[in-house]
């Protein structure tokens, strides 16, 4: 599995192919849909990571992009929840007109692109790990309120790895609560092997 992609990311070009605007729209839909059916941020974040890996790996015509988003959310839901929901129930809760067979076919196509491993790095997971290292998990509710915005902004997600985006966001929150924020953030950057120059560049974009 390709864990590290080359940044900045790019979408396949061509007539009828999706652009970053369509990508952002579908990511916003996935985040809203996840909230609507009671999923936690881990599922929404993983769904966006799956979706991004697909749309930056293969050419996606615009007419299929929502089906890819639905398939990505369905796979993420299965991985993040303890129980599996029947496809017709899942589609019905989201008021979608896709058939269970169409959803299953899309899930299989997505998994083929992913090399049959959908446990991808994602923004929410990095944020949780970083705050755990700082022994500051109490900040998690404050930071999760902003993750939707970050996930749906291709100017950020196409230029920075999830780890960099997570550390930059955490650093801004820690800075607001600790005037000595640079010491723990520098330590985390060394631990994650992330250059502080990249973190600082991302901080400017996020803030």
**Tokens at residue 57, please?**
């790996």
Query: Which architecture, in CATH terms, is 20-113?
Result: Orthogonal Bundle (1.10)
Instruction: Give the pLDDT of residue 75.
Output: 97
Distance CA 15, CA 195 (A): 38
pTM for the model: 0.93
Residue 144 buriedness (CB in 10 A; 0-12 / 13-18 / 19+):
middle
Other Cβ atoms within 10 Å of 96 Cβ, number:
15
Q: State how far Cα 112 lies from the chain centre.
A: 19
What residues in the chain have per-residue pLDDT under 70? 1-6
What is the spatial distance between Cα 166 and Cα 150, in angstroms, rounded to a whole number? 9
Q: Give domain limits for the chain.
A: 20-113, 123-206
Place of tokens 């550390």: 167
């Amino acid at each position: 599995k390709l864990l590290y992609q080359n940044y900045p990311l790019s979408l396949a070009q061509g007539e009828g192919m999706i652009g970053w605007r369509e990508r952002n729209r579908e990511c916003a839909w996935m985040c809203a849909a996840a909230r609507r059916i009671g999923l936690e941020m881990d599922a929404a974040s993983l769904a966006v990571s799956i979706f991004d890996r697909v749309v930056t790996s293969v050419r996606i015509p615009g007419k299929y992009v929502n089906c890819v988003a639905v398939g990505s959310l369905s796979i993420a839901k299965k991985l993040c929840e303890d129980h599996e929901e029947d496809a017709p129930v899942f589609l019905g809760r989201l008021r979608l007109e896709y058939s269970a067979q169409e959803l299953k076919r899309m899930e299989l196509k997505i998994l083929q692109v992913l090399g049959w491993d959908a446990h991808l790095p994602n923004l929410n997971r990095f944020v949780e790990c970083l705050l755990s290292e700082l022994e500051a998990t109490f900040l998690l509710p404050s930071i999760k309120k902003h993750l939707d915005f970050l996930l749906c902004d291709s100017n950020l997600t196409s230029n920075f790895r999830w780890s960099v985006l997570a550390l930059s966001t955490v650093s801004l929150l820690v800075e607001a609560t600790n005037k000595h924020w640079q010491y723990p953030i520098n330590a985390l950057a060394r631990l994650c092997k992330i250059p502080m120059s990249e973190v600082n560049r991302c901080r400017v974009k996020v803030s």
